[in-house]
Each structure stands twice: as structure tokens, then as C-alpha cells.
Amino acid sequence: MMLRHRLAKDKEGAAAVEMAFALPILIVMIWAFVQLAQVYRAVAGMQQALGEGARYATLCLTQSSTGCTAPSPGTGTSPATGTIKAKIYSSVYGIGPGTFTVADPVAGSSGTANYYDLSVTYSQPTDLLLFQGPTMSLTRTKRVWISTSA
């Protein structure tokens, strides 16, 4: 009985036991924040690429008496050099295990004005060290109004 009473009062090692319970949770949370930071960096890369694609889409490549020749949108899985899609692909950046997908620019019109809808998607599977997390998928779009022939 005396030994039991003495052990109940002894607090030595309590901090080590508490740390053993808390440390795995803390490590998983820190790793989740790292992966979330990778996604935020990818979002910045998507916005940068869409801005570069939008800027390129509004250029007048050759001026003539009938108007401007605008850049071609580019389609397919391997866009040709000099297209809007190729410009977006060359400008996108991010880190981590994710993948970027650039959709074909979709042409449209509103009255007499023409536009392209540009879109970039980023997908990243998450890994929370002890178990597989969800796959994060983000899409950013931008509408670009382009010049028309006179």
C-alpha cells in the first residue's frame, strides 16, 4: 500500500507520456500544413499562367488594313508553339506531387465582342503519413476579351 501511495504522488515521466500521445498528432498536422502550402503555391502558379495566357491572347500579332491577327487558341494534348494554350503551359508552376491540366481555350461571343474562356486545373493526392488523404482538385478560369477584325 505504501508503494502504491508513493507511485500515485510521483509525477516524474508524466510529461514524456503526454508528449508520446501528442507528438504523432502534431507531426501529422504539420505535414498537412506543408501539403496545403503546396496547393496554395500551385494556385499562385495557376493564376500566373492564366494571366500570361490572357495577356498573350490580347496581342495583335500582325496588323493589317483589315485588322489584327490574334494568337491561335491551341488545342489537343500537345499544343503547338505560339498558341495561347502553349503560353499557359509554359507559365504554370508549383511544387509537390500534383499535376496541372490546361483546358483548350473556349471561344465565345457576346454581341460584337469575342472572348476566350481559359481554364487550368490542379490535382494533388494528399498523404497524411499514417493514412491516405483526399485528392485536392482546384480549377481557376479567366475570361479574356479579344480584339476583332475591323
141, pLDDT greater than 90? yes
* Amino acid at site 36: L
pLDDT at 17 (0 to 100): 86
Q: Side chain identity at 124, as an amino acid letter?
A: Q
- Count of positions (residues) in the chain: 150
Reply yes or no on whether the pLDDT at 6 is more than 50.
Answer: yes
The pLDDT value given to residue 138: 94
Q: Is the pLDDT higher at 68 or at 41?
A: 41
pTM of the complete model: 0.78
DSSP for the chain, please give it: -HHHHHHHH--TTHHHHHHHHHHHHHHHHHHHHHHHHHHHHHHHHHHHHHHHHHHHHT--SEEETTEEEPPP---SSSPPTTSHHHHHHHH----SS-EEEEPPPEEEEETTEEEEEEEEEEEEEEE-SSSEEEEEEEEEEEEEEE----
Query: For residues 22 and 146, which has the higher predicted lDDT (pLDDT)?
Result: 22
- Crossing angle (nearest 10°) for helices 84-91 and 14-57: 150
Q: What is the mean pLDDT of residues 33-57?
A: 92
Question: Rounded to whole angstroms, how far apart are CA atoms 105 and 126?
Answer: 29
